[in-house]
Structures are given as structure tokens and as C-alpha cells.
Amino acid sequence: MSGMTLYDKLWESHLIREDEAGTALLYIDRHLVHEVTSPQAFEGLRLAGRKPWRTSSILAVPDHNVPTTNRSAGIKDPVSRTQVDTLDRNCADFGITEFSMLDPRQGIVHVIGPEQGATLPGMTVVCGDSHTSTHGAFGALAFGIGTSEVEHVLATQCLIQKKSGNLQIRVDGKLAPGVAAKDVVLAIIGKIGTAGGTGYAIEFSGAVLEALSMEGRMTVCNMAIEAGARAGMIAVDDTTIDYLSRRPYTQQVDLWDRAVNAWRGFVSDADATFDKHVSLDASALAPQVTWGTSPEMVTSVDGYVPDPDQEPDPVKRDGMCKALDYMDLQPGTPITEIRPDHVFIGSCTNARIEDLRAAAAVSRGQTVAAGIKQALVVPGSGLVKQQAEAEGLDRVFRDAGFEWREPGCSMCLAMNADRLAPGDRCASTSNRNFEGRQGQGGRTHLVSPAMAAAAAISGHFVDVRDTAGR
Amino acid sequence: MEKFISLTGIVAPMDRPNVDTDAIIPKQFLKSISRSGFGPNLFDEWRYLDHGEPGMDHSGRTLNPEFVLNQERYQGASILLGRENFGCGSSREHAVWALLDYGFRVVIAPSFADIFFNNCFKNGVLPIVLDSSTVSRLFTAVETTPGYRLTVDLLAQRITMPDKDSIAFEVDRFRKDCLMRGLDDIGLTLQHTAAIRAYEERRRAEAPWLFTNLPE
Ligand code: SF4
């Protein structure tokens, strides 16, 4: 018998029952909750006279709707306010731990879970949010669920699932200075497409992933969903254990040695078999920039906007034409000639301390270009913000002309007041460049934090490898 | 959840790949704390020429005449025909609530994003995967035949075309059963309460760190 993959191990260890057709009941260890996808679930629970099965498994935080300025004044938009108030009330009623808007630990749900140590290796982690895949960086099975499933987990601590296939993505080589985790994952999506991982759980491995910090690994797993996979994961190693040893909640793990010993088992066996393999060598990888309205529409910063006439598949060609039209771009334009007028550094993909350091390194002593209408830096959590301020990064950003904001999702999806106006073009460190994602009619180019900061300084996209080596 | 057994209805074509849930229901409408009322905002940014906000009177807004669902021939459609990777992006179940509220009970596409696919079954919407060439054939038929209707029979797992030709489709047995009986799967899971408790007991001994309380 061949060995087990990391995904197989996570699946097996959470399986309560499975019928002949493969429909399984899976136990959920950690349930993260935010204000947008939970109100109807709590409502359903109440209507059925049910209670949460295990409140100690739940951590809640408002993040999508919260303002990133002057928080003490409360939320202006009454509809947003109702949603945040509803979360507060639901958590109070059911005795659920919540970091409310004014708590210094508040932040984007996928930033605070790992930061607090609420996400552990070997766990099943769910949240009513597709970017839950982020937590897979810890050797956990983490995936996004819909609101009906949120209610199901609240009521039963379980989910009805079918097992996915095993997809191994190996990234070998060594990244050039200035090339980041974000570039790696964008390149993967460019290669396999946004449906390339559909029906699979992805395990990312190889020298590049091994060399990445936990922050970088979270960036990669975060975008597994953009490759079509509900879950992305990375094996546990010293980097994982070291990160966990410094988290508030893991300080409470008595039995630390026993736990670490168990966690180290969350790796694929040497003789494990995968259903599908993808590999790429990242040594020559250039920073990536998306040019269209799907994350797979991506190319290197030293490349050009592609020509739909060169695309043989008629459905794809039509999609490209619509995207170029929406983005107002001409085929053949060098990427470095594209001039954003907004820059957004934030989101659960790239708003951790390391991301802010990378953006600050490019911005230190520089000035945001005159053509940039707005450059925002939105830390992923209150603790990231504190850390950045302790390192003086806020000064670097402010001195250069960036706005330094309170933590939350902000312009990643523009549910709060931070949004693009029609026609605005934004260099963004977030994960989705869909039409209207950052504001109706807004145009998004996905890039790494260093690339976003460099675009702010230069007024157009530039290859950060040119400066990073020096 | 409303049962799904079979349905005959007008088919509307949504001819683009990667239709994402942000497009199906834009974020400003996610601020609602209810499950219903999303129908008028289905595909809001494509459907109207002006900007929509929750709480507006949508009947007075300017429709985009180019948008497929605004065309006379597709009024009353209950089957949506899509392309690859339909429903990708955000996990928002509001996307399915909006489709349902508008009147769609079936979505046919060559592939779906996983979370969206799942969310459909939880709400009595049947997502059907057919191979791309069959889907392309249906697109041609829909676009060339005004009032084109299909009959979708879940029990027989068959789609019947106006010329009586038919296509078989696959559906997971458990999901089919839930859909045909309109079952609430929380109730089904709670039948296994003893097994869940036994599992928890065992895991508490094996891996107690999974059960520590989160401090306030
Ligand atoms: S930062 Fe963006 S992608 Fe992440 S949870 Fe918030 S809205 Fe979703």
C-alpha cells in the first residue's frame, strides 16, 4: 500500500462516517466567523431552536464592513452598521469569542486566526469565506463554505463533504531578489488556469515553498481558491513550529512537546501518490502583473498585454476581448507603460508584517508619483499595525505620501467606504481582479506588495528586480 | 428548502466563462441580513446602467438593453446556461439566493466552482455539468430558437429538448435525494449525534490542544 498525502491524513483523522457513495461527515476543529456570511446562519439556528455545538471552536471578527479611518466615530453606513451590530449581538447571545471592531486584535479573519495561534497543524478550519484556504499554510485542511454550511457547522460541528483529488504543485529553484510569494502563486494560476485546481486539494511543495516564511506560505495558500481549489496546503516543518511557538493561544497549549510531535506528522509520506502533478521552476520567474479580469490573465512585468487574435480557443478569445475592453488596454502595450492612479496595499493575501516591510523597503525616502490619486496601506490586523508602527514603517509610508489606515478588508472588495470610482485603475495586492471588485467600473491589476509600492512611486509598473538586488 | 423533482422552463444563455459570484450579486447587496429579496439585484452591474444600492426602488432604474436577461425572449427563464468555471470567486451564498429569487432553478455549465456548486444544492437549485460540446450545442439552439425550453427531470437524470432528443446527466446520490425530498441536512447530521460525541471524546484524549478554550 502506498503512503498517504497530507490531505489524506487530514481527511482521515476527521472522518466520522462515510457512506458507500463517498459522502462523508467531517469533524470541524476551528470555525472562523465574520459579519457578512453569518447573520442568516445564526438566524436559521434560532428559528430551529438550536445552539452552537461547541462555542470554544469559534472565533469571530468583523472585517469586511469596518471603516479604516476614525473608528471611534462608529460606522456611518447604516446597512454596514446593522451587519456588524448583528455579529456583536449573535456572539454575545451565544457566548462566542469575538474581537470586536475596537479591540486591538481585530483584523481580517484570515490574518488574525494564524496570528493568534487559533489555526494549528492537523486542524480542519472553515469560515464562510473562500480565502479560508490561507490557513492551509499550517498543514491544516482549511476551506471556505457557504452560509448554509456555516449554519450546519454551528449546529453540528460537522460538514457533509466528498473527498477531493490530490494535486501536487511543486515549485523548485530559488526566487530572484524582489520576486515574492505573490508572484509564485500568480504564475501558478497563469499556468493552470482559474479552474485548474477544481475538484482538488492542492499541496504546494518544493524548494521555493520550503524557503518561504509563514507569511509567504499564507499568501500562496490564500490564492489556491483562485486556482479553483477549495483547499491549498503546505507540510509542517521547522518554520511552521517556530511561528507557532510565538502565538498568544499556543502559550496555552500545555503538552507543547506532545503537540509539536503530532504536528510534525502532518506531511505527505515519501511514497504518497497524487492524482495530478504540476511543477514549475521559479528561478527565472519575473514579478507578475494581471492585465485582465480574472487572476489567470497574468503576465510578467517585462511582458506585454496579450493579443486576443493569437488565442485559438473562441470562448477564451471572447473572454480576453471583453477583459481588455473593460480594462481599457490595447494588445501589445508593455506592462511597464500601464499607469495606475490608485494603489492598494492590504487584504488577507498581502497585509501581514512581512508584506508591509517589503512595501516599505521600496518606499523609504521616496515620494508617491504625482499621477497617483490615492495610495492606501491597510494593515491586516491591529497587531500587524502595532508591529509596523513599532518598526517605524507607518512613518516611511506617510512620509512618502501613502495613507496609513485601520485594519480590515477595505478596498479588497470595497464593502466599506474605500472603493474605486468608475474608470479608476488600481495596482492592488489583493487576490481578485474581477469586474467591479474594488468598486463598480474600477480596474484592478494584481501584484505583490513591493510591486504595488514601486508602482506608486514611479506612477507606472516597474520591475522591482532592478532595484531589489542593489 | 423547496423540493426539486422536474421542471420545464425557458433557457437563458450567459455566454462567458468564469462568471464570478461578485458579478452574480455585487458586494453592496451582501450587507443584508436576510436570505431573500436578492432577485432584483441579480447581475446588478450588467443588468442596469445606473449604480444600485441596497434599499433602492429598483423598478425605476435604467435597464441595460444589451444585457441578455433584459431581452424580451428570455423573460420568465428558469434555466441558466453558462460556460466554464461558473460561480467562481467569493463563497457568498447570496449568489445562489439571488438566482433563486429571480426564478432560476437550474444552472447548466461545463464546470462549476466547488463552493458555488455546493451552495446550489443547499437551496434547491440544481447545477448540471455537461461536456463543453453539448453546452455549445445548447447555446446555438437557445440563441437561434426564441422561447427555447428544456425539461429537466431529476429523478430520471435527463434533460429533454424540444425535439424530444434527450441528454443524461450525473448527480451525486445523496444530493439528489436531499433535493428531491427538500431535506434539511442539519437534521440528517444530527441523527449521528452519538457518533460525533464519540469522535470528540476520542480526539480530546488524542489531541487535547484542539479543544482548549480561546481566551476572551
Ligand atoms: S481581505 Fe478581501 S479576500 Fe480577504 S477576506 Fe477580506 S474581502 Fe475577502
Q: Look up the ipTM and state it.
A: 0.93
Q: Between chains, do B85 and A198 touch, taking CB under 8 Å as contact? A: yes
Residue A164: per-residue pLDDT: 97
Burial grade of A282 (CB within 10 A; 0-12, 13-18, 19 or more): buried
Find out whether B95 and B116 touch, Cβ atoms under 8 Å: yes
User: CA of B160, closest CA in chain A: separation in Å?
Assistant: 25
**pLDDT tens-digit profile of A62-106?**
999 999 998 888 898 888 999 999 999 999 999 999 999 999 999
CA distance B128 to B11: 13
Among chain B residues, CA nearest to A431: B89
What integer best gives the mean pLDDT of chain A? Answer: 96
Residue written as cell 474605500? A418
Helix (H, G, I), strand (E, B) or coil at A324: helix
User: Backbone phi, then psi, for A28, in 5-degree steps?
Assistant: -110, 125
pLDDT category, A122, cuts 50, 70, 90? Answer: very high
Cell numbers linked to A119: 489555526
Q: Which ligand 1 atom is at minimum distance from the Cα of A110?
A: 5
The answer, yes or no, to whether any atom of ligand 1 lies below 6 A from the CB of A464, is no
**Cβ atoms of A157 and B186 closer than 8 Å:** no
Are the Cβ atoms of B114 and A249 closer than 8 angstroms?
Answer: no
From chain B, pick out residues whose CB is under 8 angstroms from the CB of A415.
27-28, 30-31
Partner-chain contact B196 A16, CB within 8 Å: yes
Residues of B in contact with A58 (CB under 8 A): 214
Which residue has the least CA distance to atom 6 on ligand 1? Answer: A409
| Rounded percentage of chain A residues whose pLDDT exceeds 90 | 92
Task: Map grid coordinates 423540493 to a residue.
Answer: B3
Q: Between chains, do B186 and A29 touch, taking CB under 8 Å as contact?
A: no
A243 grid coordinates = 511561528
Give Cα separations from A161 to A195, A317, B88, B160 (angstroms).
Answer: 20, 35, 19, 30
- A413 C-alpha to ligand 1 centroid (Å): 7
Looking from the CA of A283 toward its CB, the CA atoms found within 13 Å total: 4
Residue B149: which H helix or E strand, with range?
strand B149-153
Ligand 1 site-directed mutation target among A218, A413, A419, A428, most atoms within 8 Å of CB: A413
Span from the CA of A410 to the centroid of ligand 1 (angstroms): 8
Interhelix angle A393-400/A382-390, nearest 10 degrees: 80
C-alpha to C-alpha distance for B115 and B89, rounded to whole angstroms? 9
- The strand order across the sheet containing A124-127 reads A97-98, A58-60, A30-33, A124-127, A141-144
pLDDT at residue B1, rounded to an integer: 82
Q: Binning pLDDT at 50, 70 and 90, where does residue A416 land?
A: confident
Asked whether the CA dihedral A38, A222, B97, A165 is positive or negative, the reply is negative
Whether A97 sits inside 8 A of B216 (CB atoms) is yes
Q: What is the pLDDT of residue A1?
A: 62
Which of the four pLDDT bands, split at 50, 70 and 90, describes residue A469? low
The structure's pTM equals 0.94
Cell numbers describing residue A250: 499556543
Reference B27, options A57, A397, A432; nearest CA is A432
Residue at grid coordinates 447530521: B189
**Which amino acid belongs to residue A36?**
V
For ligand 1, is residue A108 a contact (CB within 6 Å)?
yes
**Does the beta-carbon distance from A82 to B203 stay under 8 Å?**
no
Tell me which of A179-188, A412-421, A449-458 is least confident.
A412-421
Q: Confidence class of residue A285 from pLDDT cuts 50, 70 and 90?
A: very high
Predicted local distance difference test score (pLDDT) of residue A330: 98
- Residue A173 pLDDT > 60: yes
Q: What is the pLDDT along chain B (216 residues), one digit of tens a residue?
A: 889 999 999 999 999 999 999 999 999 999 988 888 999 999 999 999 999 998 888 888 999 999 999 999 999 999 999 999 999 999 999 999 999 999 999 999 999 999 999 999 999 999 999 999 999 999 999 999 999 999 999 999 999 999 999 999 999 999 999 999 988 889 899 999 999 999 999 999 999 999 987 766
| Alpha carbon distance B119, B108 (integer Å) | 15
Amino acid A253: pLDDT: 64
CB pairs A-B closer than 8 Å: 197
Which residues have CB under 8 Å from A100's CB, separation 6+? A62, A88, A106
The yes-or-no verdict on residue A470 having pLDDT over 60 is no
Mean pLDDT of A149-163: 97
Measured distance CA(A366)–CA(A190) in Å, rounded = 32
Which residues touch A66 (CB under 8 Å, ≥6 apart)?
A75, A84, A101, A106, A406, A408, A409, A416
Q: Residue A71: its pLDDT value, please?
A: 87
User: What is residue A448's DSSP assignment?
Assistant: -
Ligand 1 atom closest to A432 (CA): 3
Q: Is the pLDDT of residue A452 over 90?
A: yes
- Rounded Cα gap, residues A237 and A6, in angstroms: 13
Give the model's pLDDT for residue B2: 85
Least Cα distance to A11 among A266, A263, A254 occurs for: A266
Instruction: Report the Cα A332 to chain-centroid distance in Å.
Output: 31
- Check CB contact under 8 Å for A130 and B215: no
User: Is the shortest distance between the CB of A378 and ligand 1 below 6 Å?
Assistant: no
Q: State whether B174 and A160 contact (CB < 8 Å).
A: yes
> Which atom of ligand 1 is closest in space to residue A109's alpha carbon?
5
**Is there an atom of ligand 1 within 6 Å of A429 CB?**
no
The per-residue DSSP string of A3-23 comes to B--HHHHHHHTTEEEE-TT-E
Instruction: Output helix, strand, coil percentages for chain B, rounded to the nearest 5.
Output: 40, 15, 45
Measure CB to CB from residue A144 to each of B115, B186, B207 and give the nearest one. Answer: B115
Q: What is the mean pLDDT of residues A161-169?
A: 97
Nearest CA to ligand 1 atom 4: A348
β-strand partners of A377: A345, A404
Domain assignments of chain B as residue spans, ordered by start:
6-171, 184-216
The class (CATH top level) of B6-171 is: alpha beta
Residue A49: predicted pLDDT: 93
A413 C-beta closer than 6 A to ligand 1: yes
Instruction: Tell me the average pLDDT across A210-239.
Output: 97
Is some CB atom of chain B closer than 8 A to the CB atom of A19?
yes
What lies within 8 Å, CB to CB, of B104 at 6+ separation is B77, B78, B79, B80, B125
Report which secondary-structure segment, H or E, holds A445: strand A443-446
